[in-house]
């Protein structure tokens, strides 16, 4: 379980997280939705210690991750995998090297076993015969798949997805969502997906939390969010221009 | 109004002190990592190839022409005192003690220092450094320490090559074009150049190697947002490294003389 308590974060005078509270249950897919620029990615980076809050608490499996020494934080980070918005594949490495990298650096597995696991992870995400390609030779959808393969290859307990379908066409988008569902069903990790893909995300997530003005407005099952009476939640789901969410 | 000026001054001072502290911490942590977890020798070898081997052409070219200019200038200056035979000494001492380490370092700054900043800066803005951190891996082990070790090894070697090529550049102009006695050119050089000259040159280039990799990595690691951030970091890296090399050269020279 990941627990966020009264989280505050500002950049200069801009308040991004404003007393945010959220509980992310184990082994389920939780989606954090909300308008662009509301701090969804910032929230995600707090979960893994890439950003420190101004105040508040972040707990992973009952252990606070704030104020930890680097080695202690790394011990917690070993539970995580992450798929970045821009995938963040190492551009000087081939696809094989990218997926093999965490295994080479974090395990003592022999080269044959690493090879087997890399090919297995790539197969799980539906990729074949691209091991020797470099990231800039791949399409957006393929990069996302390679990023997912790299994120799952160490079989982490928690995987964070930062807008995994941004910039993809509708078919690839659906394929990536299906892939997340399938890999989740296979490995059973806790997933946190930051997204503004409405309504597709409701088919993927088991929990949905709506972030607006630095707070979680509503948290519940997809059905509860879809049927919400909250004006901001309703406006976001329907994509209406009229309502509390103003485009500035 | 006065308070505003004082506030602005204080704010700027705090900013400078913070930046100095962060830069110093970056170097200390890099050395800590070199001692504790230096990383794979393969990464260091790759960086030696990039910083050292790939700088060879520009080093040879610069060294050759620097030696030729020294030969030309030295000849006309020494000829005024009838001491053309000392040309070898003048060229060798200028190169070994001063110009070799400094010019080699400035050339490597332009070629490799800027590339180091751009590479790490792009990794920063494309979240590749964040990706390493989320894997519970220390980015210094992969991005910083191999470059610092490689620069500490490469710079003295490049400096040695610069010195040798420069001396032959001076020989080409002095002996072959201007008719200085070839025996005198090398004999006087051998008589005048002592181990301390060579040692001080190598010590300089070793420390310049640290400065190039340190500032190059630091500026890239903390690059700002987008292409503009990386471009700004690269420019700052080259300017700061060049200035630091010249300042540090003065201090080292005053200590080693």
- Claim to verify: residue A114 and residue A26 sit in the same structural domain: no
At residue B39, the pLDDT reads 77
Condensed to tens digits (0 to 9), the pLDDT of residues B51-90 reads 999 999 999 999 999 999 999 999 999 989 888 889 999 9
pTM: 0.86
Supply B236's token pair: 């700052």
Is residue A127 very low, low, confident or very high in pLDDT (cuts 50, 70, 90)?
A: confident
Query: How many domains in chain B?
Result: 1
User: Does B1 have pLDDT greater than 70?
Assistant: no
Q: Which of A46-55, A80-89, B21-30 has the highest mean pLDDT?
A: B21-30
Nearest to A48 among B123, B127, B134 (CB): B134
Q: Do B137 and A88 touch (CB under 8 A)?
A: no
pLDDT tens for residues A78-104?
A: 899 999 988 899 999 999 999 999 999
The number of folded domains in chain A is 2
In a domain, B33, yes or no: no
> Domain holding A43: CATH number?
3.40.50.300
Burial of B119 per CB tally in 10 Å (0-12, 13-18, 19+): buried
Q: Report the alpha-carbon distance of residue A115 to residue B35 in Å, rounded.
A: 31
If asked whether residues A64 and A184 sit together in one domain, one would say yes
User: Nearest residue of B to residue A88 by CA position?
Assistant: B128
Q: Which domain holds residue B156?
A: 40-256
Q: Which domain holds residue A174?
A: 1-79+159-248
Angle at B240 between CA B238 and CA B242, to 5 degrees: 65
Examine the domain organization and report whether A144 and A163 are in the same domain.
no
In this complex, which of B127, B136, B138 lies closest to A88 when CB atoms are compared? B127
Average pLDDT, chain A: 89
Residue A38 confidence (pLDDT): 83
Asked if A106 lies within 8 A of B130 by C-beta distance, the reply is no
Both A43 and A147 in one domain: the answer is no
Same domain, A10 and A123: no
Helix (H) or strand (E) segment spanning residue B54: none
If you search the block for the tokens 């995600």, which residue do you land on?
A: A44
Cα gap B213→B55, rounded to integer Å: 14
CB contact under 8 A, A45 and B130: yes
CB contact under 8 A, B131 and A88: yes
A residues 33-62 lying closer than 8 A (beta carbon) to B: 45, 48, 50
Q: How does pLDDT run across B101-116, given as a tens digit for each residue?
A: 999 999 999 999 999 9
Which residues does chain B have within 8 Å of residue A90's beta carbon, measured at their own beta carbons? Answer: 123, 128, 131
State pLDDT tens for residues A211-234: 988 899 899 999 999 888 888 888
Q: Mean pLDDT, to the nearest integer, of B125-149?
A: 92
User: By CA distance, what is B133's nearest residue in A?
Assistant: A50
Q: Cα-flanking dihedrals φ and ψ of residue A35, to 5°?
A: -60, 160
Together in a domain, A52 and A163: yes
Residue of chain B minimizing CA distance to A90:
B128
Q: State ipTM.
A: 0.85
Among the listed residues B47, B102, B56, B126, the one whose alpha carbon sits nearest the alpha carbon of residue B243: B102
């Amino acid at each position: 379980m990941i627990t966020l308590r009264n989280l505050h974060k500002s950049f200069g005078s801009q308040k991004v997280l404003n007393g945010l509270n959220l509980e992310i249950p184990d082994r389920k897919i939780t989606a954090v939705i909300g308008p662009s620029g509301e701090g969804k990615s910032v929230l995600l980076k707090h979960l893994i210690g890439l950003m420190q809050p101004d105040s508040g608490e972040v707990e992973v499996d009952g252990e606070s991750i704030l104020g930890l020494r680097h080695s202690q934080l790394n011990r917690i980070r070993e539970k995580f995998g992450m798929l970045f918005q821009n995938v963040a594949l190492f551009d000087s490495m081939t696809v094989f090297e990218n997926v093999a990298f965490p295994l080479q650096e974090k395990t003592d597995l022999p080269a044959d076993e690493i090879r087997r696991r890399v090919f297995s992870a790539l197969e799980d995400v539906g990729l074949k015969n691209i091991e020797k390609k470099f990231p800039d030779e791949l399409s957006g959808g393929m990069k996302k798949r390679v990023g997912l393969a790299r994120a799952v290859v160490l079989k982490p307990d928690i995987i964070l997805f930062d807008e995994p379908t941004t910039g993809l066409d509708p078919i690839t988008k659906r394929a990536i969502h299906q892939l997340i569902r399938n890999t989740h069903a296979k490995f059973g990790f806790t997933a946190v997906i930051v997204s503004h893909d409405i309504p597709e995300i409701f088919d993927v997530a088991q929990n949905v939390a709506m972030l607006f003005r630095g707070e979680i407005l509503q948290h519940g099952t997809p059905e509860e969010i879809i049927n919400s009476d909250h004006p901001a939640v309703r406006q976001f789901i329907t994509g209406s221009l009229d309502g509390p969410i103003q485009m500035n | 109004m006065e308070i505003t000026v004082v506030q602005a001054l204080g704010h700027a001072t705090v900013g400078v002190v913070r930046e100095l502290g962060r830069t110093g911490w970056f170097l200390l942590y890099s050395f800590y990592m070199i001692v504790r977890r230096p990383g794979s020798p393969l990464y260091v070898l790759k960086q030696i190839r990039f910083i050292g081997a790939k700088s060879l052409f520009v080093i040879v070219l610069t060294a050759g022409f620097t030696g030729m200019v020294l030969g030309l200038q030295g000849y006309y200056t020494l000829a005024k005192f009838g001491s053309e035979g000392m040309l070898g000494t003048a060229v060798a001492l200028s190169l070994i003690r001063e110009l070799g380490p400094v010019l080699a370092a400035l050339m490597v700054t332009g070629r490799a220092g800027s590339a180091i900043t751009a590479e790490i800066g792009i990794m920063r803005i494309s979240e590749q450094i964040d990706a390493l951190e989320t894997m519970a891996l220390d980015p210094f082990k992969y991005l910083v320490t191999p470059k610092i070790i490689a620069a500490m090894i490469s710079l003295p070697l490049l400096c040695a090559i610069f010195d040798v090529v420069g001396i032959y550049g001076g020989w080409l102009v002095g002996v072959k074009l201007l008719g200085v006695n070839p025996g005198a050119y090398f004999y006087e050089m051998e008589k005048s150049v002592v181990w301390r000259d060579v040692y001080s040159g190598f010590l300089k280039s070793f420390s310049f190697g640290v400065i190039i990799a340190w500032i190059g990595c630091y500026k890239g690691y903390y690059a700002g947002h987008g292409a503009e951030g990386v471009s700004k970091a690269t420019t700052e890296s080259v300017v700061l490294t060049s200035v630091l090399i010249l300042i540090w050269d003065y201090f080292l020279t005053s200590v080693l003389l």
